[in-house]
Structure 1
Amino acid sequence: MPSSITDRLAGTRIMDRIRSLTHVNPTGNMWKSSTLLATILGLILLRSWRTGRLPQLLQPTKKQREATEPSLFTKHSSFKTLTTASGHVYPKIRIFYHPHMQAAKLPKDLPLLVFIHGLGGNATQFAPLLTSLVNVGPCLAIDLPGCGLSDFKPDDPAAYTTAAFAELVCAAIEEYRDKENNQQVVLVGHSMGCSIAALLASSASSLRTKLKADYIIGLIALCPRSGPLNGGEARTVSNLKWLPVPIFDLIRMIDRRGGLQSGSITRMTGEGADDETRKLQSKFNDQSKSAVFLRFAMGMLPSAIDPHIALPGREIWSGIKVPLFLVAGESDGVTSPKEVEVIAEWLTKPAHAIDDTTESTVLDRESTQGDGDAATAKDATDSGSAERSTETVPTTAGDLQHVQYLLSSHPDQLPANDDTTVSNGSALSKNEQNHTKHAFALKTTIFPAPASHGLMYATSTLRILSGLIETFLAQHIDARLSLGWQLQHMTTSGKWDVKNLKKWDAISPCSEPIAGVFRAMKTMREVDYVHNPHEFVKRYGYRVLDDGVAIVVDISHESPVYDPRGLEEGGVGYCKFPTVSKLPPTPDEVDHFVELIDRLRREPRMQPSDDEEGGEGAGRRPTIGVHCHYGFNRTGFFIICYLVERLKYRLQDAVEEFAAKRSPGIKHDHFINELYVRYAVKMQRRGTIVG
């Protein structure tokens, strides 16, 4: 959504909007001249539009759009004609479908992840997220009609309502969902896409029944809106029917003054966004067509005939009975982060305990946020701080700890006689006392400023968001959506068969010193002529090298395939610290590892020597060798954690230090994402409600 409806769609206040953008005194002659100039320019644009000679000042050509497509979309996109349950025919819809890379080795009913973009957006806005998530599950995304590479057809306005889009998404799902194996679906929506998804996921929605969408088992809502347009917004949008598209183009063109620092970009990215994020937003703004934007906005208006045509509100959101993850940005001036709290309140408190003014208060406050200024949004968010705990949950605590934190902080939300079970990999909670079948998990996360409406592709939040989504999918929807589970499932042969032995042989035995404390290494093998304990001591021991290894920490889960006595005989210590492969270490494991390293560094053999006379051992700085099987993922994760927690490295610096000394560094993205989740920012996270 390229701007807040109230600000940028003020059809009755066009000149006021132009005045604010041009900073001209409305009482002076300059304002009169500016008004006249804008009117003349608008008439010229209108005439050019009608004669077909309007230069493409705002939207790139189709060829230009295709040239800037992410390679992931270029390779995995196709075009289809889709017909919905209501009979609307969309002749050319771009569909992105990426099956799991290891589909042949995984269960056929692995859930399908479906991505729905918002007003003014397109499917490629999910490309940065999809880079990681395509490794977790099969992924599907579409360009809504007129967006991205999809044709702006049909012409029927009824084909552009929220309900119509929900039917269109469902039609796309039916094209790709494995019905033979009853494949289930998880929806991921952004902005208006959340409203579309809610209509499909909610048990209170007639569309869910009409479309037989019982296969939807989860919803992730990024920057959701909690309700339909309020009175002022509805009047503003209604006036758009009298606004010629060229005039709206003119408003948008003026709004882009300032290039990457323009209000049109900052409104979506937040004040503190870097240039890379701003360039992405600029591209998305260019791709958004004014005529399509106006048609979509008109489709948001409520209807006396069918309320589902409008944006869904309290009834629909309250009826969601599947795991739900709500995400917002603190500086979002388009969709207030307060919306997340409203939805969460509807789902966690009895109806009689909810203040009826909550929804209208949020919407009224949104309508007065002016230009979407980040500071204004922050002030509005902070104004509600008295309603919630101001304590920040440590990012390093881990999601499971957040559950306990939330429930202990809000004991009124604890269900009586709670009996937590796991069914088909999904976390469910049943309240036996009330004898209800209502079961779902609710998680909320608000990213701190400068996180804004574009948080799903902003460089500062992308990795963290990706990690949080992967964690939510695995913990609360289906355990098989964990990359760790999948890697373990695909391990069908022993660690030391010919194939793995060849891989092991090709890897460097031991890295250079990392931060002066560690060396990352692959495991030794007793039967190997080069990399066995005796040879290791001769090549890398601290008695041979000034910065050689004095202690080896074996973090593999299995018994070592070498005899540790070979190390001890050469004066090198051995310590076993077993962890599970393919899975990022838990926060508790990291704590124990850090404490272990602290203790080992105090051992006599680890003490540095500063013998100024040049005697034996002068200048010695012993290191600790750490290995799993190959010395990249788990090894790198633990070492990086220690660098951040004890040596006070910035996370990115720690990641780069490890990669420089143990090239190419951590190989699995889900390990990197988890590091960013734990260390990159201090987020306002109230955890996961299971109930």
Structure 2
Amino acid sequence: MASPYDPVATDPPLLDRNSEIKTYTTSRFTYPGLRIFYRRHQQADRLPKSPAPIPLLVFIHGLGGSVAQFHPLLTSLTSIASCLAIDLPGCGRSEFSVRQWEAYTTDALVELLETIIEDYREKEDGQGVVLIGHSMGASLAALLASPRLPPRTQLHDHVAGLIAVCPTSGFSSQKQIMVLTALLWVPEIIFNLWRAWDKRGGSQSASVRRFVGADADPEAKRLQDLYNNQAITSVWRRMAWGCLPTHVKGVTKGGLPSKETWEKLNVPVFLVGGEDDRVTPPQEIAKIRDFLQEVKTTPDTISPGTSVLADSAAPVDINAAASKIDAMTSLGQGEENTRESEDQKPVHRTQVAEPEEGADDPVTPTEQAASLPSLSLHRKKIVRSIIMGKPATHALLYTPSTVRILAGLISDFMVVHITGRLDLGWQLQYLSRDGKWDVKNLQKWQAVEPVSEPIGGIFRAIKTLREVDEDHSPSEFVKKWGGVIKDVIDISHDNPVYNPQGLEKGGIHYHKFPTVSKVPPTDAEIKGFIELVDKVRDEQKERAKRENWGEEHYIGVHCHYGFNRTGFFLVCYLVERCGYTPEAAIEHFAQSRPKGIKHAHFKDRLYVRYSGLRSEAIAEH
């Protein structure tokens, strides 16, 4: 049985379905058993490839981290670009089979990352990459983006931008190097004893508080405890040792990048820090900005409640968006800007994953060409930085109160300073020519009632929204239903044909729970859906008190039309949480959503599931 900290057992579906285990060989080492997450943009072949495809987004975790820490960002960003993330050797789901300490130096890891990225980058088409690094991963990203001597690959020529989250400026003094060196001389058995003591109390331990803060929400603490227990001491020690520079005849070599590396960067750079970060304090960003010779010297600060999500219902206005980013970087002039005001609402984590084919109304080739954002292959240095206000910590990647705003900041920066082709609204309009939105299916969709009557006092079944629809777009949905439908769970398999940020900006929280059409959900999917609804209902109770809601509030659930998969999941919840019999739940759904569950095999599976009779064939599926 897998331990509660087994990364395989705890992988979310998005990571599990798009990961593979591979072996890579560099000039010095062979690294077997590496977990590689790669999800190609599902509409990549339909989007323009001149002068190059949309950049590949590459995610690099830090010391003791893993791909799983990027999951909240990946659920948002896989909808706009192909995404690649790597568990470094011995981290997350990757094997710890290479024991040589030299295999974990920054130079060795950068060469490994270069090798993997070049394996996935669409080199023949000249695809660029955007590097997104967290903590030490930001340092590795800086080394990848900076020209290296001698060059092992030409990857740095194709770096379109660098986003550094909670970065470190390197070792600023010999004393820091001496302290870390002394720590690494401590025998591993003693180091493990200290770690065990530091982790006492699980999610309430000192090791958790160090990263997420004492007042973090339970989910952030749970995740940090999980990641702390996944970290292997032997791997941590090797990577920490590999961060140390060496001195040969008075010349410093290797280790974390310092001023000389950062100042060579000639790409758009976005630095993001957390005011409450105790691991890499926000002062590190000021140092790096000085290295980059950035003109601005005022620390940029934004509170977690501030809305920075890009308007994506139409092709992005680059100049207007640039003004918004520049306005954000002027924040931080006073203490009031580092706190969340009482009337500001925290931005919720939006999970956008998986694109349903096609989109909306036809767009002519002439219109497409006219609205095609530029994709320059010759970028210039642009530096922007933001300090997210309290409670942003080193764990802002996966803390619910901060991760959504981080996703919005990253998206806005990429759209403004890298290419407008990374704007989801523009992509939806460009692609809205055929697929599921041909005339026949469009008419069928239009004939379906948008929102059902209440179901079990908890749900409303809805049909998928449509970005450019006059009556059932996100903006119209917020106007009509935002007062009572407070969350939307999207169970369609692919990316939605609407921009979920339109719901988020209207105060409706969006959750992605992808499932396959025409096939009854599996036991694991049913369990996951029920747990998600339980969590959303608990959150709604807190939001209702905080935001003074009325008594009536619901969770909207949709697949494509809101009948079969939606009905199946809602019936399961009514049976397992609300005391309905299967017959009563199926009938209640049909009364609230006329015609109800249409697929006979879906209803058959429900009856079998709750009959108490379980066959091996069903259990296996």
Fold match, TM over 0.5? yes
Q: In the aligned structure 1, how far is the partner of 2:301 from the partner of 2:137?
A: 30
What residue is the counterpart of 2:62 in the other structure?
Answer: 118
2:450 aligned with 1:450, yes or no? no
Equivalent residue in structure 2 for 1:462, among 388, 403, 420: 403
Q: 1:309: how far off?
A: 1.5
Shift of 1:141: 0.7
Looking at structure 1, the residues matched to 398 and 72 of structure 2 have their Cα atoms a distance apart, in angstroms, of 6
- Matched with 2:207 is 264
- Counterpart of 2:192 (choices 238, 245, 249) is 249
* Equivalence for 1:622: none
The residue aligned with 1:181 is 125
* Residue identity matched to 2:470: H
Please give the residue correspondences for 1:12-91 in structure 2 after superposition, counting only pairs within 5 Å.
Answer: 64-84=6-26, 86-91=27-32
Give the whole-Å Cα distance in 2 for the aligned partners of 1:164 and 1:81.
15
In structure 2, the residue matched to 1:685 is: none
Aligned to 2:440: 498
Contact map agreement 1:220 1:324 (CA 8 A) in 2: yes
Spell out the pairing of 1:422-433 with structure 2 (5 A cutoff): 425-426=374-375
Matched, 1:144 2:88: yes
Deviations 1:473-520 (A, max 9, x none): 2221122211112111111149772221111112338999xxxxxxxx
Q: Which residue of 2 aligns with 1:103?
A: 44
Superposed CA offset, 1:310-360 (max 9, x none): 10011211222111111111100000111112222333447xx99xxxxxx
DSSP 3-state at the match of 1:334: coil
* In 1: Cα distance, 2:132 partner to 2:508 partner: 19
Structure 1 residue 390: Cα displacement: 8.5
Distance across 2 between alignment mates of 1:458 and 1:66: 21
Deviation of 1:632 after TM superposition, in Å, equals: 3.6
Q: Does 1:507 align with 2:449?
A: yes
Letter paired with 2:449:
I
Whole-Å Cα distance in 2 between the matches of residues 286 and 175 of structure 1?
Answer: 31
3-state DSSP of counterpart to 1:277: helix
Q: Secondary structure at the match of 1:452?
A: coil
* DSSP-derived class of the 2:59 partner: strand
Cα offset, 1:148, TM superposition: 1.2
The one-letter amino acid paired with 1:499 is N
* Count of matched residue positions in the alignment of Structure 1 and Structure 2: 445
Q: Give the residue type in structure 2 aligned to 1:224.
A: P
- Unmatched runs of 5 consecutive residues or more in structure 1: 1-59, 355-386, 411-421, 429-436, 513-520, 523-555, 557-580, 584-627, 644-653, 681-691
Cα distance, 1:423–1:195 mapped onto 2, change above 3 Å: farther
Which ranges in structure 2 are unaligned for 5 or more consecutive residues?
311-320, 333-370, 455-461, 490-495, 510-542, 544-621
Q: Which amino acid aligns with 1:631?
A: H
Shift of 1:221: 0.7
What pairs with 1:161-560 in structure 2 (closer than 5 Å)?
161-203=105-147, 205-206=148-149, 211-228=154-171, 230-305=173-248, 307-349=252-294, 395=306, 399-403=321-325, 405=327, 425-426=374-375, 439-493=380-434, 497-508=439-450
Deviations 1:237-294 (A, max 9, x none): 2224432212111101111223322110011112321101110111000100111111
Cα contact 1:99–1:139 (8 A) shared by 2:
yes
Partner residue in 2 for 1:689: none
Deviation at 1:303, TM superposition (A): 1.1
Q: Output the CA distance in 2 between the equivalents of 1:295 and 1:282.
A: 22
Look up the equivalent residue of 1:329 and give its one-letter code.
Answer: G
- Cα 1:344–1:187 shift into 2, 3 Å: same
Q: Which residue identity does 1:176 align to in structure 2? A: Y
Question: 1:304/1:405 Cα in 2 relative to 1: closer, same or farther (>3 Å)?
Answer: same
The secondary structure found in structure 1 opposite 2:35 is strand
Match of 1:160 in 2: 104
The answer to whether the aligner puts 1:635 opposite 2:476 as a matched pair is yes
2:502 paired residue number: 671
Contact 1:467–1:673 (Cα < 8 Å) also in 2: no
- Check the 8 A contact 2:88/2:94 in 1, yes or no: yes
2:62–2:137 Cα contact (<8 Å) kept: yes
Letter in 1 for 2:256: L
Quote the Cα distance in structure 1 between the aligned partners of 2:10 and 2:503: 27
**CA distance change for structure 1 residues 511 and 479 in 2, over 3 Å: closer, same or farther?**
farther
List per-residue Cα deviations over 1:80-112 (Å, max 9, x = no partner).
21122x322212211111111223322452211
8 Å Cα contact 1:199/1:208 also seen in 2: no
CA shift at 1:424, angstroms? 6.5
* Structure 1: distance between partners of 2:508 and 2:380: 27
Distance of 1:492 and 1:394 partners within structure 2:
37
What CA distance in whole angstroms lies between the structure 2 residues aligned with 1:394 and 1:122?
27
Asked if the contact 2:301–2:389 (Cα under 8 Å) also holds between the matched residues in 1, the reply is no
Q: Is the 8 A contact 1:160 1:295 kept in 2?
A: yes
Specify the code of the residue in structure 2 equivalent to 1:636: F
CA RMSD in angstroms, aligned pairs only: 4.0
Counterpart AA for 1:125: Q
Give the Cα–Cα distance (whole angstroms) in 1 for the partners of residues 128 and 89 of structure 2: 25
Distance 1:184 1:262, change over 3 A: same
Residue type of the alignment partner of 1:130:
L
CA contact (8 A) 1:116 1:187 kept: yes
In 2, Cα distance between the equivalents of 1:423 and 1:170? 31
**Cα distance between partner residues in 2 of 1:213 and 1:462:** 28
Q: Which AA in structure 2 matches 1:139? A: C
C-alpha contact (below 8 Å) 1:200/1:208 kept by paired residues = no
Q: What's the TM-score once normalised by structure 2's chain length?
A: 0.64
Q: 1:168 to 1:238 in 2, by over 3 A?
A: same
**TM-score after normalising by structure 1:** 0.57
Per-residue CA deviations over 1:418-474 (Å, capped at 9, x if unaligned) read: xxxx9973589xxxxxxxx98233221211111100101001111111122122222
The code of the aligned residue for 2:186 comes to L
Bigger mean CA deviation after superposition, 503-512 or 457-466: 503-512
Letter in 2 for 1:68: T
Work out whether residues 208 and 214 of structure 1, in 8 Å CA contact, stay in contact via their aligned partners in 2: no
Shift in CA distance, 582/314, structure 1 to aligned 2, threshold 3 Å: farther
**Structure 1 residues 260 and 99: CA distance shift in structure 2, 3 A:** same
Residue by residue, what CA displacement relative to the aligned partner does 1:156-205 show, whole Å, maximum 9, x if unpaired?
222111121111111111111111111111111000000000001124x4
Contact 1:632–1:666 (8 Å) recurs in 2:
no
